[in-house]
């Protein structure tokens, strides 16, 4: 009787745990829908008075005159993110390969700990470092080198600090993807006469491709939605973006205007629409990334 009672108790505990996890998963899905509906509802005043095309394609932003054009801010966001990913992706992948395949054990452990600490630093600290390092670098060296006069508070500076912020997540996840591969893959390739770099490029990249792609896409999400560090160095001007000129991004627009949003209901609706746009873009991009990852897993399956 005792073993049966114990088995029955374990089964009941397992059933309760399973239902609890299902309830949590359902709650997260409901939270997602609630956030989406809330943003849609708060964006209705703007969308009822202005067409979606007018809002997204207009370049004039002046809430006091009823002008809500988001084209410069949207382009600024993509410019900054593109610069950050252009720098971060190759550096992160090469660092992950070095740590996984070339670095001695002591160096690997030291740098892995350092990357973990770097990932936990608040974004405002990155912003301060950007003001102290990247702003003078762009204003005093990079700008004059290319023949451009700039204050350093510009799109390029925001892209540089975002690249630094993407490094930890992209490096750590790419490193974990490479480390998760079985040692037999490396041994089989090396036994056929391939060099270590040939093994990495032709075998390990192929096997770890989906995981490394996920690392890059998560880095994109971090860069696209980053607020504080970008707001501190991007310049905060709603104008068409230029590499060495002040600009604006969607998150930094919300931060810079949040103090005024309660005084003008239509501006409040416009800023909520910015949050809705960010919400939709990141969601669509993540869904697309999952689809691409599954396709690559099937295509690159060894």
Q: What single DSSP character describes residue 66?
A: T
Residue-level pLDDT at 232: 86
Residue-level pLDDT at 252: 84
Q: Does domain 56-299 have CATH number 1.10.3720.10?
A: yes
Q: What single DSSP character describes residue 134?
A: I
Give the whole-angstrom CA distance, residue 115 versus residue 112: 5
As a whole number of Å, the end-to-end CA separation of the chain is 50
Residue-level pLDDT at 168: 87
Residue-level pLDDT at 2: 47
Q: What is the pTM for the complete model shown? A: 0.82
Parallel, antiparallel or unpaired: strands 67-68 and 61-62: antiparallel
Residues (pLDDT < 70) of the chain are 1-8, 259-263, 293, 295-302
User: How many distinct helices (H) and strands (E) make up the chain?
Assistant: 15, 2
Give the whole-angstrom CA distance, residue 286 versus residue 36: 16
Residue-level pLDDT at 213: 81
Residue-level pLDDT at 191: 82
Burial class (CB in 10 A: 0-12, 13-18, 19+), 241: buried
The pLDDT tens digits for 176-229 are 888 888 888 887 887 887 778 888 888 888 877 777 887 788 788 778 877 788
Report the candidate in 157, 135, 140, 139 with the shortest Cα–Cα distance to residue 83.
157
Give the whole-angstrom CA distance, residue 155 versus residue 137: 14
């Amino acid at each position: 009787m005792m073993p049966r009672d114990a088995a029955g108790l374990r089964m009941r505990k397992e059933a309760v745990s399973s239902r609890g996890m299902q309830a949590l998963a359902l709650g997260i899905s409901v939270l997602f829908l609630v956030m989406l509906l809330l943003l849609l509802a708060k964006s209705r005043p703007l969308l009822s008075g202005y067409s979606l095309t007018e809002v997204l394609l207009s370049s004039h932003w002046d809430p006091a005159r009823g002008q809500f054009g988001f084209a410069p801010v949207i382009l600024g966001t993509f410019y900054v993110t593109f610069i950050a990913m252009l720098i971060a992706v190759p550096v992160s992948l090469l660092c992950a390969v070095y740590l996984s395949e070339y670095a001695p054990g002591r160096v690997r452990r030291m740098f892995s700990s350092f990357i973990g600490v770097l990932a936990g630093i608040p974004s405002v600290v990155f912003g301060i470092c950007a003001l102290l390092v990247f702003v003078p670098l762009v204003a005093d060296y990079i700008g004059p080198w290319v023949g451009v006069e700039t204050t350093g508070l510009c799109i390029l500076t925001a892209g540089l600090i975002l690249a630094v912020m993407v490094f930890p997540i992209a490096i750590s996840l790419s490193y974990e993807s490479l480390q998760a591969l079985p040692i037999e893959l490396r041994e089989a390739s090396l036994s056929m006469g391939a060099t270590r770099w040939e093994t990495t490029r032709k075998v390990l990249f192929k096997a770890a491709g989906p995981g490394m792609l996920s690392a890059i896409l998560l880095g994109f999400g971090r860069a696209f939605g980053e607020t504080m560090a970008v707001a501190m160095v991007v310049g905060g001007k709603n104008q068409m973006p230029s590499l060495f000129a002040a600009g604006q991004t969607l998150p930094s627009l919300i931060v810079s205007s949040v103090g005024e949003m309660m005084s003008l209901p239509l501006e409040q609706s416009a800023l909520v629409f910015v949050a809705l746009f960010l919400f939709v873009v990141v969601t669509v991009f993540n869904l697309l990334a999952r689809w691409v990852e599954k396709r690559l897993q099937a295509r690159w399956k060894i």
